[in-house]
Structure 1
Amino acid sequence: MSTDWIRSSHSGGAGGDCVEVRSGPREIRVRDSKRITGPELAFPASAWATFVAALGGGG
């Protein structure tokens, strides 16, 4: 799994209201950038691809 978190380009800038994701071979993790030591959500990579495709991002 990558140790690098990627911040959403659609998240608010100066206010810090951001969502970050980190990908691995089998799962995607999502967290709130304001709470980097807080909980993370984990999704199977296939479910994440379906979610992104449904948003129009193409997977």
Structure 2
Amino acid sequence: MTALSQLTWITSSYSGGSGTECVQCAHVETGTLIRDSKWVGGPVVRVGTEPWCMFIRSLRQGTPSA
């Protein structure tokens, strides 16, 4: 896998304006990686492609994800 520092991280458009609530995502071949932008060296959560797509679809539809 590509080194985390070489990935393109996208900051959530819903992150708080105060800079205290920032979530970043990076898309990789096996799914999506999620991290806290204030702690870039901290833990990273990997979500598989199918669950990630289901999550995004539920957000767009305004329905809770199962």
> TM-score, with normalisation over the residues of structure 2?
0.75
Larger radius of gyration between Structure 1 and Structure 2: 2
* Count of residue correspondences: 57
Unpaired segments of 5 or more residues in structure 1?
A: none
Aligned-residue identity in percent: 33
Whether 2:13 is the aligned partner of 1:9: answer yes
> TM-score, with normalisation over the residues of structure 1?
0.83
Kindly report the root-mean-square deviation, in angstroms, between the aligned alpha carbons of the 2 structures.
1.7
Please state which structure has a larger fraction of its residues in helix.
2
**Distance (Å, rounded) in 1 between the aligned partners of 2:8 and 2:19:** 21
Q: Which has the bigger relative contact order, CA under 8 A and spacing at least 6? A: 1
Moved over 2 A (4+): 13-16
